[in-house]
Amino acid sequence: MSRILIIEDEQSIAELERDYLEISGFEVDIENRGDKGLQLALSAEYDLIILDLMLPKIDGFEICRRIRSEKDIPILMVSAKKEDIDKIRGLGLGADDYIIKPFSPSELVARVKAHLARYERLMGRREAKNDEVRIRGLMIDKTARRVFVNEREVVFTTKEFDLLAHLAMNPNRVYSKEQLFDLLWGMDAMGEIATVTVHIRKLREKIEQDPSNPQYIETIWGAGYRFRI
C-alpha cells in the first residue's frame, strides 16, 4: 500500500483528498502546518507528497526545495494561485505536477496514480543491474559485453567474448572442441575445429596470469576444456 502525505492548511480540503485517496487504496497522513509537514516528510517514508503552496510557518515552495534536496519522490503541488510564474517556480524547484484549485478529487487520484506508476518505472530502470559473472579477479559484464581482469578492462573480439562468457556461465563442465565450435560458430559455419584451440589460447593470454599454467580455463586431455571455479 502506497503512503501519501498531504500538507494542506485547509482541513476540509485535506480531508476530502484523504477520503478519495483512501477509497482508492492509499494510506494517507495529513499535516496542516508547513514546518511540521516538512519535518514529517523528511523523517518518515512516503511514496508521494501532495503539497499546498500557502501554508503557515513555511510555504510550499521552500518545503518542495527542501524535500527535493533529500528525497526522490513525486511531489504534487496544489494551489489557488493561477499565475504562470508560480507554476514555473514550483516545477523549477522539483515539483512533478501543479494542480490549480478548485479541482475534482477524482482528477487528483488519477494524477497520483499516474505519477506513482511513472516513478515505479523510472526506479525499476535505475535499479536494473547488468548481467554479470564474477569469478575471483575476473568480471564479465554480459549486458555491456565488457571484461575486467583484476579491475583492469581487457578488450575481446566478439567470438572471444562469446566463448569466455559461455564457459564462465557453465563452470566445471567439460566441453569438447566440437561442441564449442557447434555452439559458437554453428554447425554450418565455414572453418575448422582448430579455431577453438586458437581462441582458447587468446583467452588465456588475456585473462590468465600465467597462460602456461591456467587457473581459469583448464585443458582436460582427451576431452576438451573446462572453466574452473
Question: pLDDT per residue over 124-144, tens digit each?
Answer: 655 556 788 889 899 999 888
- Which of 66, 57, 47 has the alpha carbon at shortest distance from 5? 47
Segment 16-23 mean pLDDT: 94
Average pLDDT, integer, range 95-121: 88
**Considering the chain, what percentage of its residues have pLDDT values greater than 70?**
94
Q: Residue 186 above 90 pLDDT? A: no
3-class DSSP string for 160-189: HHHHHHHHHHCCCCEECHHHHHHHHCCCCC
d(CA 224, CA 217): 10
Helix (H, G, I), strand (E, B) or coil at 30: strand
Whole-angstrom Cα distance, residue 165 to residue 140? 7
**pTM for this entry:** 0.55
Cell of 34: 508547513
CA distances from 206 to 31, 111, 197, 203 (A): 62, 54, 15, 5
pLDDT bin (cut points 50, 70, 90) of residue 215 is: very high
Specify the pLDDT at position 124: 65
How far is 110 from 76, CA to CA, in rounded Å? 12
pLDDT, position 125: 57
Q: Is a pLDDT exceeding 70 seen at residue 75?
A: yes
Question: CA separation (Å) from 29 to 17, 26, 44, 186, 202?
Answer: 11, 10, 11, 62, 63
Question: In this predicted structure, which of 49-63, 85-99, 165-179 has the lowest mean pLDDT?
Answer: 85-99
